[in-house]
Structure 1
């Protein structure tokens, strides 16, 4: 199937391809920047919090994360890449199941998890604004893709083992993400209970950090990140074909292409419709998450070693077991 022949033609398709192209490119370009600077939220929130740009972490998080499911619902229902929006699918149809999975993830991420968090560091407004922009684009791309003729056609023809393997991987990743987040939440709960006086007043408003233990924390510092990558890998596997042809995986062609400056000129200047035609939104989301979260995990891993010194397990990697 050729994706370019499966969509309606018009402004919606033009915007879809432009968003697909520049969302990918911006993630690739932002990743090395995040290796140099610390995104100002969480443990890297500026110590001087008197600026009006430093905002409540819980409210900011919920605001920016709710944007993604809202945009997803809007584009999934209106189906901008079809000439006429189809009727809402049965909950048992593959693209409806994937829509439910997407919304379940964000129900936890945007509502349940922040409401259960005993405390959350303040965040810089630029993080909130950046998160909103990311989620507007990503939610729109994902909803548009799953409701598109190409997305629905693929899910009708994909083999059941591939679809259910992807769904199972998604579920395992989601459970792992929640499990390891809960370990961090328990550290905060214990710190908060120790910081309360007899009358329930907080004696210590500062964030408390300890060395997490349990699960994949025995191997890596950020298993919640790793599990989220596993989750979205499974989702992409279920929702979309691979973003490359296996016949193209040859070092003799890949390396010269990457070393050729003309390759990057063609990517930037070429029409968005020609940009990586097999790279669908589910794979773009996985790629973007990996590129943007890995620098954070690496910097956070170094922070753990700096804060806890010799007490921090030397055998732990940052975010990928046994590798990095």
Structure 2
């Protein structure tokens, strides 16, 4: 049953339009190179409109994988497809697993705290998620490969792609936890001090230190790099012709790269260039 006729799930024509528009997303990220205003995370700013970080993050990220799952279970029936091939479900599973972690587990259960965000960030990220999920979901649910024959002869590239995807996801989780440990340590110290003074512990949502473990020895945004590796593996699973996966990777890089470069400037301003040293922003030895 369609939630929005011809849009959710999308008709072939509307799906192609969505894919075309989403490919233009890097043009919109040009503003990130020109303006350093980004009211979320390290650069969050005080505003009466701010949304609590954990709630805002879950609200903007979760609709993506929910939309993809919905399309996977509704579009095939509308197209008369009785059964999707195994490769389609593997890719859908990779997507859903990543976002269960990123949208729900990490912000709501693992992160000690998250800085508040402006609604503009939340709305923009939500739009990104819906476009992306519809693009990938449509390809996987009927507008891409629809038979096992479409995956024939590609087992080696699928296996290698899955290994790359898994290593990227594990690296992402590991480096996220390195950042979380900074907050955990700060929260523990503040809790002990508050207990000693008989006061209520203060928030640690704006506590930042230079991360040192793992790839953070070489770059300041190792979790970004690992996520790019993860989605590069995802694209490899789908194959060169999987344009939604290619678009997703390109769009992630286009929006996260300027954020990382601005973040490096933020680290240098806060801690000094001497402490940041020769670490790059996101790609070791390059940028």
TM-score (norm 1): 0.79
Q: Counterparts of 1:290 and 1:203 in 2: how far apart (Å)?
A: 35
Q: Counterparts of 2:180 and 2:219 in 1: how far apart (Å)?
A: 17
Matched, 1:193 2:191: no
Change (3 A) 1:205 1:171: closer
Report the alpha carbon displacement of residue 13 of structure 1 after superposing the two structures with TM.
Answer: 1.3
Does the CA contact (< 8 Å) of 2:186 and 2:204 recur in 1?
Answer: no
- Which of 129, 134, 138 is the equivalent residue of 2:132? 138
The equivalences for 1:69-218 within 5 A come to: 69-79=65-75, 83-87=79-83, 93-114=86-107, 115-148=109-142, 150-153=144-147, 155-196=150-191, 197-198=194-195, 201-204=200-203, 207-218=206-217
Aligned residues: 271
Matched, 1:287 2:250: yes
The corresponding residue for 1:64 is 60
Does the CA contact (< 8 Å) of 2:157 and 2:237 recur in 1?
Answer: yes
Change (3 A) 1:43 1:232: same
Report the alpha carbon displacement of residue 103 of structure 1 after superposing the two structures with TM.
Answer: 0.9
Does the CA contact (< 8 Å) of 2:18 and 2:135 recur in 1?
Answer: yes
Of stretches 142-151 and 79-88 in structure 1, the one that deviates more from structure 2 is 79-88
Change (3 A) 1:62 1:158: farther
Report the alpha carbon displacement of residue 161 of structure 1 after superposing the two structures with TM.
Answer: 1.1
Q: Counterparts of 1:195 and 1:206 in 2: how far apart (Å)?
A: 12
Does the CA contact (< 8 Å) of 1:24 and 1:288 recur in 2?
Answer: yes
Report the alpha carbon displacement of residue 144 of structure 1 after superposing the two structures with TM.
Answer: 1.0
Report the alpha carbon displacement of residue 152 of structure 1 after superposing the two structures with TM.
Answer: 3.3
CA RMSD across the alignment: 2.0
Q: Counterparts of 2:150 and 2:264 in 1: how far apart (Å)?
A: 39
Does the CA contact (< 8 Å) of 2:81 and 2:142 recur in 1?
Answer: no
Matched, 1:34 2:27: no
Q: Counterparts of 1:85 and 1:126 in 2: how far apart (Å)?
A: 39
SS in 2 for 1:297: helix
Does the CA contact (< 8 Å) of 1:56 and 1:121 recur in 2?
Answer: yes
TM-score (norm 2): 0.88
Q: Which runs of 5+ in 1 are unaligned?
A: 1-10, 243-278
Report the alpha carbon displacement of residue 84 of structure 1 after superposing the two structures with TM.
Answer: 1.7
Does the CA contact (< 8 Å) of 1:82 and 1:149 recur in 2?
Answer: no
Matched, 1:321 2:284: yes
